[in-house]
């Protein structure tokens, strides 16, 4: 039995890992040169509590249950997850009515611990909030993580359990026999399949069309962000939402797992042809500044580290589309996975494998006896006690050679990232946080290029930033 998962974002990665728990051949095909680089890498990184989704929606079916799975998942896969809680703040009695609606809706969705707090208690917990705040809906189960690391960790663990990972290949067609996919054709080869799971993010509708399966039309909803320096660490301790509107959850202020402050996103619907254009605009970033200052007036925009935007797959029904195709009997769609997609992903992965494949498609799968659920992260040496770090340096001097000074990333960590599969600068970046700091690679990129050149045994001109076309250097100035 052979299963092919298309798309290496957080959904595809977790579904692929879930499949490797069973006795079947699993292949994950990702068009980028690494996993987690599409919708997954540029979002708010919030593990939502689950009060925002209408109870009758598919989103509500998976949000609170997905949230509940993150603690154990983060321990198994050794990625950062912090259950810091969230506030939805209200500045008047009209907004209080919306908090009361969200509280009732969250209780219907099975979200534990929700409560509405008044001004004094809110400010005692978050003293840097706008003192004009009157109320806040407190959700203690909300959390933060690094979305790309969830995908990377899941794939690393899946590879340990037999996953075949195919990078840099786009799906271009399908070969079908008697209404079932038998081969998946890519830009470089073909792969036999008894089961196909479509997790292609913004392009999932195009993949479904190629297969002749049902789909919902997708368009990008753009969100622009501003990241502030770690010097502001502690400015807020929780995820701070404004009272939501019909369009979005609003522009928020939240801490990142490594100590920065993230602001955003905006919400702008773009035409279908802009699925691969996550651009920022002066107007969008100014909107982020304006709206977040209303929440936290003391935000210091002289400490901006970077600005960026992300694209989310939105559909007319504004809900997940997770179904077995009726026209292509062995094809599963996991599409329109807009917010709270990151939160829902672990629960969706189990649902796809246990309910859709085994129950709905009636494909019996036998669990492996030797599945290894645990994966260990790359050791970040600067986080170790000094004496322990000193002993590591004695064992391997590379553990003492700082390459990225902003985030204190050593040569040994970068070498480990390369040995785990990083082949590009961004591959190193997302595995180690090198080039993620205030200089954004200005001081360390050249050194990382040299390490990649040495470890991979290729000329530096062959090393890419993120895609086949993103070369960094094209030759030597002099010999």
What is the DSSP annotation of 193-258? -SEEEE--GGGHHHHHHHHT------EEEEEEEEEE-GGGTTS-SSEEEPPP-SS-S--EEEE-TT
What is the percentage of the chain residues whose pLDDT exceeds 70?
100
Mean pLDDT of 284-310: 97
Q: What is the mean pLDDT of the chain?
A: 97
Quick one: pLDDT at residue 367?
97
**pTM of the predicted model, to two decimals?**
0.97
Quick one: pLDDT at residue 476?
80
Kindly report the backbone phi and psi dihedral angles of residue 451, in degrees, each rounded to the nearest multiple of 5, phi listed first. Answer: -65, -45
When pLDDT is cut at 50, 70 and 90, the band that residue 38 belongs to is very high
Reported as a single tens digit per residue, the pLDDT across 341-355 is: 999 999 999 999 999
The CATH class of the 381-462 domain is mainly alpha
Q: Among 107-121, 173-187, 234-248, which is the least confidently predicted range?
A: 234-248
| Stretch(es) of the chain classified as CATH 3.30.9.10 | 81-144+223-305
What is the percentage of the chain residues whose pLDDT exceeds 90?
97
Indicate if the pLDDT at residue 478 is higher than 90: no
- Homologous superfamily assigned to 1-80+145-218+315-377: FAD/NAD(P)-binding domain (3.50.50.60)
Quick one: pLDDT at residue 246?
74
Mean pLDDT of 128-146: 98
Rounded CA-CA distance 464/130 in Å is: 44
When pLDDT is cut at 50, 70 and 90, the band that residue 174 belongs to is very high
Reported as a single tens digit per residue, the pLDDT across 220-248 is: 999 999 999 999 999 999 999 999 977 67
Quick one: pLDDT at residue 475?
81
| Stretch(es) of the chain classified as CATH 1.10.10.1100 | 381-462
| 3-class DSSP assignment, residue 404 | strand
Indicate if the pLDDT at residue 456 is higher than 80: yes
Quick one: pLDDT at residue 479?
73
Rounded CA-CA distance 300/307 in Å is: 14
Q: Does an H or E element contain 64, and which?
A: helix 58-77
Q: How many residues belong to the chain?
A: 479
Reported as a single tens digit per residue, the pLDDT across 44-73 is: 999 999 999 999 999 999 999 999 999 999
Query: Which two structure tokens, joined as six digits, stand for 83?
Result: 């259950």
Kindly report the backbone phi and psi dihedral angles of residue 393, in degrees, each rounded to the nearest multiple of 5, phi listed first. Answer: -65, -40
Q: Which active-site residues does the annotation give? A: 48
53 preceded by a cis bond (ω within 30 of 0): no
Buried b (16+ CB within 10 A) or exposed e, 55-75: eebbbbbbbbbbbbbbeebbe
Query: Which two structure tokens, joined as six digits, stand for 111?
Result: 């979200």
Reported as a single tens digit per residue, the pLDDT across 377-406 is: 999 999 999 999 999 999 999 999 999 999
Rounded CA-CA distance 239/112 in Å is: 17
Phi/psi region, residue 452 (left: phi>0; alpha: psi -120 to 50; beta: rest), is alpha
Indicate if the pLDDT at residue 474 is higher than 90: no
Topology of domain 81-144+223-305, per CATH? D-Amino Acid Oxidase; Chain A, domain 2 (3.30.9)
Quick one: pLDDT at residue 249?
85
| Stretch(es) of the chain classified as CATH 3.50.50.60 | 1-80+145-218+315-377
Residue 410 contacts residue 448 (beta carbons within 8 Å): no
């Amino acid at each position: 039995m052979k299963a092919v998962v298309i798309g290496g974002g957080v959904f595809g990665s977790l579904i692929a890992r879930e499949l490797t728990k069973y006795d079947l051949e699993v292949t994950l095909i990702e068009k980028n040169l690494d996993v987690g680089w599409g919708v997954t890498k540029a979002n708010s990184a919030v593990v939502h509590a689950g009060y925002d989704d209408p109870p009758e929606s598919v989103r509500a079916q998976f949000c609170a249950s997905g949230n509940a799975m993150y603690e154990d998942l983060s321990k198994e896969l050794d990625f950062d997850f912090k259950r810091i809680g969230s506030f939805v703040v209200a500045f008047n009695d009209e907004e209080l009515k919306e908090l009361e609606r969200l509280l009732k809706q969250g209780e219907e969705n099975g979200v534990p611990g929700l409560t509405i707090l008044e001004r004094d208690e809110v400010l005692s917990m978050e003293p840097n909030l706008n003192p004009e705040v009157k109320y806040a809906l407190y959700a203690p189960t909300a959390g933060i993580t690094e979305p790309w690391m969830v995908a990377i960790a899941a794939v690393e663990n899946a590879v340990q359990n037999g996953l075949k990972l195919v990078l840099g290949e786009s799906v271009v067609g399908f070969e079908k026999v008697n209404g079932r996919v038998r081969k998946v054709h890519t830009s470089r080869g073909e792969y036999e399949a008894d089961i196909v799971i479509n997790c292609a993010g913004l392009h999932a509708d195009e993949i479904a069309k190629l297969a002749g399966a049902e789909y919902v039309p997708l368009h990008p909803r753009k969100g622009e962000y501003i990241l502030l320096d770690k010097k502001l660490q502690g400015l807020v301790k929780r995820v701070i939402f404004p009272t939501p509107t019909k369009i979005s959850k609003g522009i928020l202020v939240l801490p990142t797992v490594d100590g920065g402050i993230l602001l955003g996103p905006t919400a702008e619907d773009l035409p279908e042809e802009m699925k691969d254009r996550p651009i920022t605009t002066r107007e969008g970033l100014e909107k982020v500044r304006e709206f977040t200052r209303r929440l936290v007036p003391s935000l210091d925009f002289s400490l901006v580290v970077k600005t960026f935007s992300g694209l989310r797959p939105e559909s007319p029904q504004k809900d997940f589309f997770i179904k077995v195709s009726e026209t292509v009997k062995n094809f599963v769609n996991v599409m329109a996975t807009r917010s709270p997609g990151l939160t829902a992903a672990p629960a969706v992965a189990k649902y796809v494998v246990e309910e859709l494949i085994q129950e709905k498609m009636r494909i019996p799968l036998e669990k492996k006896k030797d599945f290894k659920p645990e994966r260990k992260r790359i050791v970040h040496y600067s986080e170790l006690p000094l004496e322990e770090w000193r002993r590591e340096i004695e064992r391997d001097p590379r553990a003492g050679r700082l390459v990225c000074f902003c985030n204190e990333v050593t040569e040994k960590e970068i070498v480990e990232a390369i040995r785990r599969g990083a082949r590009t600068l961004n591959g190193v970046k997302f595995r180690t946080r090198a080039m993620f700091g205030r200089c954004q690679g200005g001081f360390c990129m050249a050194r990382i290029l040299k390490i990649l050149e040495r470890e991979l045994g290729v000329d530096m001109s062959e090393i890419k930033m993120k895609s086949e076309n993103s070369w960094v250097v094209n030759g030597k100035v002099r010999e």
